[in-house]
Amino acid sequence: MEYIKQGTSAFRKTNWALFAGGFTTFAILYCTQPMMPAFTKEFNISPTVASLSLSLSTVILAVSMLFVGSMSESWGRKPIMTFSLFAASILAVLTAFAPNFQVLLGLRIIQGMVLAGLPSIAMAYLGEEIEPRSLGAAMGLYISGNAIGGMSGRFVIGAVTDFFDWHVALASIGVLSVGASVLFWLMLPKSRNFQARTPDFKKLLHSMGSHMKDPGLLCLYGIGFCLCGSFVTLYNYIGFQLMAPPYSLSQTLVGWVFIIYLVGTFSSTWMGRLGDKYGRRKVLGVALLIAVAGASITLSANLFIKIVGIAIFTFGFFGGHSIASSWVGLRATHDKAQASSLYLFFYYVGSSIAGTTGGVFWTEYGWPGVIGLIVAFLAIAFLLSFRLYSIAPINRLIGQERHS
C-alpha cells in the first residue's frame, strides 16, 4: 500500500482538509449548546428540554453513522464526507429561520443525519491512508480541528446572540461552515488504498458483531461513551451556572469561556504523540486522571479557579479522546469504518444520555450534582482503561501495539 507519510505535501493537505472538516462538523453540531439559556427564556422550557437541541442531534448522528460508514465502503470516502459537510452547512442556515422550538428540533434531527457522513469516515480514511507511525499525530490534528470548530461555534454564537439574537447567530455559523466545506473539498487527496465493495447489510451486522466480541474494542467504546458524556454534560450546564448569581456573566462572556477549547488543540496532538511513543494504555490513564482533577476543581466558588478547572478538564478530555479514537483504527483487524462507527456511536450516545440526564442533576442538586455525575462517568472510563492492561495486543500492528 502507498501510505501518506508525515512531512510530505499530501500529509499537510490531508491535515488541513480534515481540520476544516472537523471544524465544520463540530461548529454545527455544538452551536446550540451556548444558546440553551436563551432557549429556556424565549420558548419557556426547562434546561433539560433545551438540551434536546443538542442531544437529539447527537443521538441521530450516532445511529446514522452505523450505516453511513458501510455506504462509504461502496461509494468512497471523500464523496460522502464532502456531501455531508455542504448539506449540514446549508441546513445550519435554514435553522436560523426556525419559527419555534419544535421546528428547530426537526431541523437539528436532519442535521444529525447528514453530519454522520464525516466523523466515522474521516477516522477510517486516516487509518487507510496515513502510515501507522504517523497516525497518532494525524488523528490528533484532526481532533484539533474538532476542538477549534466546537470552540468557534460556541463563542461566535455567544457573542452574536448577545448583540443580535440566536437566529443571526445560527446563520453566521452556516456561512462560516460553507467556506470550510469548500476548503475540505479542494484540499483532501483522493483515497489511494480504498477498495470499493458492494454494500451488504447482512455482512455489516456480522462485522459489527465481530467488533463487539473484541474485549479491547469494547473497552474503547465504553471509554468513548464516558468521555463524551462527561464532556458534554459539563459544557451544557456551565453556562447556566455562570449566567446566574453570584457570577451573572453575559451571554458573550459565557461564550468566550469556550476559548478554553484551545487547550484541546494542543493536548489532542501532544498526547496522541505521547501515546505513539510511550504506550496508549499509560497515557490514556493519565488523561482520564487529569480530567477528573479538572472537573473537581470547578467546584470552587472562585471564578478564576473554576475556569482553570474547566481548562484542565478539557485538556484531559481531548487527550483521552485522541488516544482512544486512534487506537480503534489500529485495533480493528477488518472493516475499519464499521469499527470507527461503533466507537463514535457509543461516543455520541454517551453525549446524548449524559447531556440530558445532567439537566436533572442540575435542577435537583446544582453544580455539585453535575460534577458528581461527570466524575462517575470518568471513574468508569478509568476502570475500563485499567482493564485494557489485561487484554493482549494484536500482533499485526507493525510494531505499534508493542507500545500500546
Q: How far apart are the first and last CA of the chain?
A: 23
- DSSP SS3 for 7: coil
Q: Is residue 348 part of a domain?
A: yes
Q: pLDDT tens digits, the chain, 404 residues: what are they?
A: 688 887 788 888 988 898 888 888 888 988 888 888 888 988 999 999 999 999 999 999 988 888 776 677 667 788 889 999 999 999 999 999 999 999 999 999 999 999 988 876 887 788 788 888 777 778 777 777 777 776 777 777 777 877 888 889 889 999 989 999 999 999 998 877 777 667 666 777 777 788 888 899 999 999 999 999 999 999 999 989 999 899 999 878 887 887 887 787 788 878 888 887 888 888 999 999 999 999 999 999 999 999 999 999 999 999 999 899 888 878 877 777 678 778 888 998 999 999 999 999 999 999 999 999 999 999 999 999 988 877 766 544 434 444 44
246 domain residue, yes or no: yes
At residue 403, the pLDDT reads: 42
Residue 4 is assigned to a structural domain of this protein: no
User: What pLDDT is attached to residue 74?
Assistant: 65
Determine the pLDDT at residue 4: 82
* Total count of domains within the chain: 1
CATH number at residue 55: 1.20.1250.20
Write phi, then psi, for 296 (nearest 5 degrees): -65, -35
Which residues make Cβ contacts (< 8 Å) with residue 354, sequence separation at least 6? 228, 229, 230, 232, 233, 373, 377
pLDDT value of residue 19: 84
The three cell numbers of residue 74 are 461502496
If you search the block for the grid coordinates 500492528, which residue do you land on?
A: 397
Q: Give the C-alpha separation, 397 to 402, whole Å.
A: 8
The predicted structure's pLDDT at residue 114: 93
> Does residue 44 come out as left (phi exceeding 0), alpha (psi in the -120 to 50 range) or beta?
left
Q: Could you identify the residue written with the cell 489485561?
A: 390
Residue 340, in any domain of the structure: yes
Domain annotation covers residue 29:
yes
Residue 99 lies in a domain: yes
Task: Domain of residue 53: give its range.
Answer: 9-188+197-390
User: Which residues on adjacent β-strands are paired with residue 234?
Assistant: none
Q: Tell me, yes or no, whether 396 lies in a domain.
A: no
Q: Residue 399: inside a domain, yes or no?
A: no
Q: What is the pLDDT of residue 399?
A: 44
